[in-house]
Amino acid sequence: MATGWAGDGAVQDQIDATVADAIKRARSQLPKGKSLKRCEECDAPIPEARRKALPGVRLCVPCQEARDAGESASSGYNRRGSKDSQLR
Protein backbone atom coordinates (compact mmCIF):
# COMPACT_ATOMS: atom_id res chain seq x y z
CA MET A 1 0.00 0.00 0.00
CA ALA A 2 1.46 3.35 -1.02
CA THR A 3 1.64 5.98 1.71
CA GLY A 4 2.72 9.14 -0.12
CA TRP A 5 6.46 9.69 0.01
CA ALA A 6 7.12 7.01 2.60
CA GLY A 7 8.03 3.54 1.47
CA ASP A 8 5.95 0.50 2.29
CA GLY A 9 8.14 -0.48 5.27
CA ALA A 10 8.77 3.05 6.61
CA VAL A 11 6.95 2.53 9.90
CA GLN A 12 8.72 -0.74 10.61
CA ASP A 13 12.05 0.86 9.65
CA GLN A 14 11.40 3.62 12.19
CA ILE A 15 10.55 1.10 14.89
CA ASP A 16 13.68 -0.95 14.07
CA ALA A 17 15.84 2.19 14.25
CA THR A 18 14.36 3.09 17.65
CA VAL A 19 15.11 -0.39 19.00
CA ALA A 20 18.64 -0.32 17.57
CA ASP A 21 19.27 3.08 19.20
CA ALA A 22 18.03 1.78 22.55
CA ILE A 23 20.32 -1.26 22.35
CA LYS A 24 23.28 0.94 21.42
CA ARG A 25 22.57 3.28 24.34
CA ALA A 26 22.21 0.39 26.81
CA ARG A 27 25.47 -1.18 25.67
CA SER A 28 27.30 2.13 26.00
CA GLN A 29 26.16 2.39 29.61
CA LEU A 30 27.53 -1.01 30.61
CA PRO A 31 30.41 -0.74 33.05
CA LYS A 32 33.90 -1.13 31.67
CA GLY A 33 37.27 -1.83 33.25
CA LYS A 34 38.09 -3.50 36.52
CA SER A 35 35.36 -4.12 39.10
CA LEU A 36 35.55 -2.42 42.45
CA LYS A 37 35.61 -4.51 45.64
CA ARG A 38 33.59 -1.91 47.53
CA CYS A 39 30.58 0.13 46.39
CA GLU A 40 31.56 3.63 45.35
CA GLU A 41 28.38 5.10 46.89
CA CYS A 42 27.93 3.32 50.23
CA ASP A 43 31.29 1.54 50.65
CA ALA A 44 29.57 -1.85 51.14
CA PRO A 45 31.51 -4.88 49.90
CA ILE A 46 30.59 -6.08 46.41
CA PRO A 47 30.40 -9.90 46.34
CA GLU A 48 32.90 -11.71 44.14
CA ALA A 49 30.12 -13.44 42.21
CA ARG A 50 28.70 -10.03 41.19
CA ARG A 51 32.14 -8.78 40.16
CA LYS A 52 32.67 -11.88 37.98
CA ALA A 53 29.18 -11.75 36.47
CA LEU A 54 29.42 -8.05 35.56
CA PRO A 55 32.98 -6.92 34.83
CA GLY A 56 33.50 -3.28 35.67
CA VAL A 57 30.77 -3.15 38.32
CA ARG A 58 31.05 -0.14 40.64
CA LEU A 59 27.91 -0.37 42.78
CA CYS A 60 26.42 -2.90 45.19
CA VAL A 61 23.01 -4.34 44.29
CA PRO A 62 20.90 -1.98 46.49
CA CYS A 63 22.68 1.12 45.16
CA GLN A 64 22.39 -0.12 41.56
CA GLU A 65 18.67 -0.83 42.04
CA ALA A 66 18.14 2.68 43.41
CA ARG A 67 19.99 4.21 40.45
CA ASP A 68 18.08 2.09 37.93
CA ALA A 69 14.72 3.03 39.48
CA GLY A 70 15.53 6.71 39.10
CA GLU A 71 16.64 6.36 35.47
CA SER A 72 13.73 4.23 34.22
CA ALA A 73 11.12 6.82 35.19
CA SER A 74 11.69 8.76 31.95
CA SER A 75 12.77 6.38 29.24
CA GLY A 76 11.19 8.39 26.39
CA TYR A 77 10.28 5.37 24.28
CA ASN A 78 6.83 4.51 23.05
CA ARG A 79 5.78 1.20 24.56
CA ARG A 80 2.22 1.11 23.19
CA GLY A 81 3.09 -0.35 19.81
CA SER A 82 0.53 1.80 18.00
CA LYS A 83 1.52 2.87 14.49
CA ASP A 84 -0.09 6.28 15.03
CA SER A 85 1.94 6.94 18.14
CA GLN A 86 5.15 5.95 16.29
CA LEU A 87 4.59 8.61 13.65
CA ARG A 88 4.06 11.56 16.02
Convert the pLDDT of each residue in 10-64 to its tens digit: 889 999 999 999 999 988 888 788 999 999 999 999 999 999 988 899 999 999 9
Q: Measured between alpha carbons, how far is 58 from 38 in angstroms, rounded to an integer?
A: 8
Tell whether 46 is covered by a domain.
yes
87: pLDDT confidence band, cut at 50, 70 and 90? low
Q: Do the domain assignments include residue 56?
A: yes
In a domain, 47, yes or no: yes
Say what the pLDDT of residue 73 is. 58
- pTM for the whole structure: 0.53
Distances (CA, A) of 22 to 17, 80, 87: 9, 16, 18
Instruction: Look at residue 7 and tell me whether its pLDDT is greater than 70.
Output: yes
Domain of residue 66 covers 31-71
Classify residue 42: in a domain, yes or no.
yes
